[in-house]
Structure 1
């Protein structure tokens, strides 16, 4: 069938909106007509080839839509169902079976390989294959095919225009807090970066009952917005040493910390901001080969834990409905991070995300 898609063709170049041919869903695939898709930092860095995904490619990995048709072996959804799309995983490796599909042993192949496991792509531009299956979905297309394991059914009245980011960016920040750090009521947390992931982490910290929530960023307007959403303290490192400031605020160091930036000099600051036996998490992506120094002589005495977290270490079929329920009860107002763009304006959405003008762009079809 003919579909409209935004195609990444070269690093640092605008996406090209084209008409492509989409093949039929395979036996364990679901064909979804997209209602909306979030624009994530990972889309930009893959477009720019931080990770070697084949180009041309249809990116997008925060999709939400309605099931059009299903493959012969699909049993969990039916045409007409509303769904949120999540990353691909194999379902059979030790990590998947153990409830950690974000660490699937085939995660890179299934989400960044640019094709199905058999090497086929679902999109074609005339006689040219266009890389597909990005994060198992390639949601920058009006219709796409998704592996059944990557589909999360939601209620008939679910607001699909805001739910797509729950599949990646929002669940990454929230899951790092709720699933990995797990702060208790009355605890302290410092979060570096006030983008969509960092803000989602902050909202999760508020919902967890943290009473000292410190946000660190160089953009004052973002810090002010963070206070409106629940931050108790903000730090702009351009004028203040963030490590010293966190230790002063917390009386020696935070119980928990999160780095959503992926910037190599921020990660050591995050670690140094922790108090004794604190727990920190890294969720920000960096170019492959990025290194950050540790003073292991000093850190050995602290008993710290540092976790590397992908996709919030969540089981999407469990965690996404949980976040939707929290949102419905007013406990997780992530919709305040979202700004909508027409699909035709997707390059504007990318630009606004990069400049910081928009926290979480969502394109609508």
Structure 2
């Protein structure tokens, strides 16, 4: 189990320990000056002088051009409770250099600025006692191990930042408590009452670390089967049973991602960039769906792109590879969302639901 951390910074680097340590056997993480890197020390080596700063979590370490830095989650807010677990969103962060009051050049300053921009514009969530990288079902299947060991790497957003810590943790289990998997996405629960029965509704979205990027610059699939901006969204429902006093827990998963073929939009400063389809997508598309089937079983594909104009080539390319795969576990349906639900006729989404049920999709 992870928890809050305290640190002291001085001329020798940055020293971290658990805020609620267990005693003299606790480990101290020392992010030393550039030439020394990360070290594990005994509890007695935590500095007795200097300002002690309490933080919510240590997201990890990064080496830029000149210096090493600690990425710190300073403050958080509670966003939900689920089965006794608490979800938190990171509100404020810090990038702390190992070199106390060091001077940096213009390139290093630019790298720090870009890192700050990413951290500021991102929505990071974690739980000290629940693995948000994994769905409810995947969490049920893993044993009692440190969360970083069973975390789904696809959604372990600070996986790279924790590399040094994970390397030490393989040899020293005391380090487990310093490694806090963080997701980029959304995690929130709300309490409600339905027919006099208390319920909890939860929504968790996990963004994949593979092939993430900005709109227009990250489209389609890569050779390993990863698609642009893949997300897994989980809806969770907890409901009490008044008769048996048991709590029923339900989970429903949806995924989304860029159309899994080779395609791109060439940025040419026009309102709509040129859309270009690549060739020979079939192998990459097959890898993508093989991964999805292994993770989720039968896949029900809902294509919502426009069936005319700018997006038509993507629609046709998608349908072409799905037809070529001819996989009985891949169920494809096209739904012209903009046409069917025009003028805010959202109720017509039922047409799509009915179609999916005919293909075999069930919530049972």
TM range (shorter): under 0.3
TM-score, structure 1 normalization = 0.28
Judging by fraction of residues, say which structure has more helix: 1
The structure number with the bigger radius of gyration is 2
* Bigger RCO (CA 8 Å, 6+ sep): 1
Judging by fraction of residues, say which structure has more strand: 2
